[in-house]
Structure 1
């Protein structure tokens, strides 16, 4: 994947092996990929290969090897959000069209610091899920609250909405 994160003034290529987990949906996998792209401007980004309970999907390690930033793809319960927040300094949730989920959680998040929630268009996520292949040759551009992905054939775009 070629990633141009214009917000962080970073352009780089990422080459790695990723596989869909047994119980993982294509949409979750796409959110995880996009989350990885969003954090990959930093050198210490990690991708969860094998599903482990309460492990983030993507994370950044600090110099001591501890999780500094944890990214979780998809919607999670309030108790899970609170649990995840205790495991990292900053927790990021990447969701798709989760207005109802967020509306239910928002009143409870006032007391919780260090959590960010970003939303992408569900159409964008499902379009990317439908074009997943064994070898991803994506060009990803992140700029001014918009993410664009091209697979050399088609072009997909979504606004990145910061919910919290």
Structure 2
């Protein structure tokens, strides 16, 4: 018998000072049985960082040809493809052909990945790559609960994530920006 996804009820209060986006969002996020807390956390952060009313979660690990999140137009065209983790250059290039805007939110030890992959995708004019700081991201992942209420504030490239008890500062590393 296959393991079932675990639902997480997520409430985000998004204050993106850099883009002028201020929203309260409630979503249910399915966590695949093989998904780590770090990946789930990065998907939730990506929702806040790239928020748009049409941005939605893809089917995740169960469907490798889909983005972690994507923004679809009303006629079903992909407008923004968002990946999390450390996708290979081929996947990034392929997604850049499918969408006019592509973003990658990298996490974990990105130093080697950055050296291998970033140099192969610098020619893409529709690509943004951001990286989460490893230690602060791990601390944030430890705050996960099945019912989650986080405040996300982005200002001057620094993301502040808070819950009822604490606030974590995540300075975003810009690896590539159009």
- Normalized against structure 1, the TM-score is what? 0.92
Q: Does 1:108 align with 2:124?
A: no
Cross-structure match for 1:137: 149
Q: Is the 8 A contact 2:38 2:138 kept in 1?
A: yes
After TM superposition, which residue ranges in structure 1, 4 or more long, deviate above 2 angstroms?
48-51, 110-113
- Normalized against structure 2, the TM-score is what? 0.85
Separation of aligned partners in 1, 2:71 and 2:145: 26
1:19-98 equivalences under 5 Å are: 19-40=30-51, 42-49=52-59, 51-96=62-107, 97-98=109-110
Question: How far does residue 112 in structure 1 lie from its aligned partner after superposition?
Answer: 3.1
Structure 1 residues 10-49: Cα deviation after superposition (integer angstroms, max 9, x where no partner): 2211111112112211111111111000122x22111125
Aligned-residue Cα RMSD (Å) equals 1.5
Q: Is the 8 A contact 1:18 1:49 kept in 2?
A: no
Separation of aligned partners in 2, 1:37 and 1:110: 25
Structure 2 vs 1, CA of residues 63 and 136 (structure 1 numbering), >3 Å: closer, same or farther?
same
Structure 2 vs 1, CA of residues 151 and 48 (structure 1 numbering), >3 Å: closer, same or farther?
same
Structure 1 residues 80-99: Cα deviation after superposition (integer angstroms, max 9, x where no partner): 22222222122111012412
Separation of aligned partners in 1, 2:33 and 2:118: 31
Separation of aligned partners in 1, 2:97 and 2:21: 30
Show structure 1 runs of 5+ residues with no match.
Answer: none
Cross-structure match for 1:163: 175
Q: Which has the higher strand share?
A: 2
Instruction: Tell me the number of residue pairs that the alignment of Structure 1 and Structure 2 aligns.
Output: 163
Separation of aligned partners in 2, 1:155 and 1:100: 29
Secondary structure of the equivalent of 2:23?
Answer: strand
